[in-house]
Structure formats: C-alpha cells, structure tokens
Structure 1
C-alpha cells in the first residue's frame, strides 16, 4: 500500500483555516473533503487511511495529513494556505529491525475500568490518563507496534473537541504528545500501525505516528 503525507501550512488570514483550527470536528471534515465524494461510504476515514495531526512548530502552525489515497489539494478553499504532498513509500521500504528512529504522536491515552472498579471509585466508563500513567500507556503501545523506546518525552495538549455536524453531540478526546527516540524491533508490525494509527480519536486528530531515521551520537 502506498501512503501519502501532506503538509498544510494554514494562512492565519484565512477565515476557513482559523475556523478549522478552532475545532477538531471542522478540521476532520476539511481533511475528508480533500477526497472524492464517491468514496464516502460506511467508513470513509478508515477506507481512505486518513489520519491527521495539527501542531505548532517554531515556524508556525501546520497540519500533517496521512492517507492511502493522494488528496486533491485543489479542494482547499482559496487562500487557505500552502500545501504539498509526497509519498511515504521510500520511508516505509527502509524500515528494518535495529534501525533507530525519532517518533512523534499526539495520542488519546485512556483506560476503561471494569464495572466493579467504576462503581467502587465512582469513575466514568473512559478515564483519560496523564503523567506516568500516560507514559506507561504509550510504552505498551510502542512495544506492540514493533518499537523499543530509547527516550520518551510527553506533554499534555489541548483536547480535540467540537460538535458533530449531524446531531450536534459533543466530541472530546484528551491528548498527550509523545516524542523521543526508539529502535525498530518488528518492521512489519510498525508499518501496520503507521497505516492504521494508534489509540482512540483517530477521526479527530489523534493517533498519527510520525517517524524519521535517527543517528545516535557516537
């Protein structure tokens, strides 16, 4: 499977870009609008392999969009910002056990307590994790994704939230940014998790794992 990575640098003067940046639901619909309407079947995001992440960098805000089909950037509103797409095939083909990489992911670390635990401690059905509990969650996810972590830095992010367009039900996914270095233990498993995404909230900007080769200091 070919994966495509699109980098969008929104223009802060664009009203559409500002609106999308303010809500995860609006940004989800914007990303899905870059693909032909006829693929909008039962699970369009999953079928298209769409994952995205909005983030702030020293150079400004950007949106990273990963997909199994090349997006049509002409579908962005006029003046929305700069955008470019490239295939990820060279990166995926180069993955092998023992390769050191840098990683970044904005994920939704959660746990789902059993009924007895929920009643005993008056917990909700889904409990967002923070601090060391979130780090432990990511460590387990990384290991099951074919990675052995060397370093891990985590920081809380604003929640991905908004209201569904169909019924105005609220959407909220707490997010934590995990980044650091790791060594690949299972390249095939890693390719699968890169393609599928990790954790919950993938439709709203969570779960996109980004990696790049890393050369360790001698």
Structure 2
C-alpha cells in the first residue's frame, strides 16, 4: 500500500475553483488512478483533507501508486509525495503506543416508526462525537487511554485524545441537491490491542462516508 500527499493550491482560485464540495475531491482522487479507470476496476481509496501550518493537504491511502500528474491537478507544483505504507504496517505490535489522527463521520441510527430500517443521523455534540470513537476503539483493535490523575470539571477522568476540528462540508449526491456531512478530526494517543483488527482499521477506514474523505486514520510511533 501507499500513502500519498499533495499540498492543495488554495491560493490559486482559478485552479481550484471546482473544489467546492466533497464530490469534487472524490473525483480528484478517483482520476488520480487512470489505470483503474481504464480497466473499469475501482479500488477503495481512503483520503482526507489535513490543515497544517496554514496549508491544506490532500492525503490518500491506496493499494497502488497514484499518477503523479493527476494527483497534482489541484496541487502546488512539486509537492506530491508518495511513500510505501507496508513497512509501517509490518512494524505494528500489540501494546504499542501510537499518536494518531483520524477524520471521521460520527453517526448513529435511530428507530423510525413504521420503517424496518432505522435512520442514520450525525452526532452533534463534542461529547457524543468523543463517545462515538470510544465505543468503536476495542472492535477497531485499539484502546484509548484514560488519565485518571487528571479530571474534568465534572470529576470524570480525561482521555488521551481530543477533537481538533469540526466541520459540515457539502456533498452533492444528486444534481441540484446537496447534503451536509459531519466531519470531525480526532488527535491523540492510542494503544494497539489487536494487531490484525488495527491493520484493518488503518487500511479499510473507520466509520461511514469513506469515499468522501472520512475514515482515514494515520499513526506515528510515540516517542
């Protein structure tokens, strides 16, 4: 697998004028793999938008290397970087502490009278969104760490992660219609409990709307 990054040329409005909704970013990612398009075989590509030091980056995780020129379509010239991801995956082990960053779409399902299937709705509050990640950690192969020595104002222990971004970007699913999705970015510290499950989380994503910039978790070893 490969992890690629390109700085979005946000200062060039003429160049990035098409990037007005999540579908446009999704199309950018898909067009960066012309070999898949040619054989009508679309593989899953996890991606997200990062904001670091006042700059915006597109980050893409894929099984194959993207086309450099296509990935640079809306990017700053010379900023495309692609690195092999398998080495990091091979170094993971149970009990390992890692710093993580995750952009996700925290949701839950509510019962709708008269309907067999429930309705998926976003979590709204910070507390709900934090709990969403806590509830999914074990099944995703990791644990979030409680700091029992430090307490919140309500006396509850603090956790080793926080929410660093909350947005409502637009997705145009149909012509003339747009929906707003909850996009939440988490950062913090985790411990691997189940290596196989955790690798699946890293490579397959966590939560819903993976095609539209949600679900990608990246990690670096804790110093």
TM-score (normalizing by structure 2): 0.82
Of 152, 164, 172, the match for 2:161: 152
SS in 2 for 1:133: helix
TM-score (normalizing by structure 1): 0.84
Of 100, 105, 123, the match for 1:103: 100
Corresponding residue of 1:89? 86
Of 125, 128, 137, the match for 2:122: 128
| Cα gap change, 1:211 to 1:18, in 2 (>3 Å) | farther
Q: How many pairs are equivalent?
A: 201
SS in 2 for 1:162: strand
SS in 2 for 1:135: helix
CA drift of 1:161 comes to 1.5
Q: Is 1:30 matched up with 2:18? A: no
* Cα deviation digits, residues 45-90 of structure 1 (max 9, x gap): xxx2301111211151111111111100122466732211111111
What do you get for the CA RMSD once the two structures are aligned? 2.2
Task: Check the 8 A contact 1:146/1:185 in 2, yes or no.
Answer: yes
Flag structure 2 segments of 5+ consecutive residues without an equivalent: 146-159
Larger fraction in helix:
1
Flag structure 1 segments of 5+ consecutive residues without an equivalent: 119-123
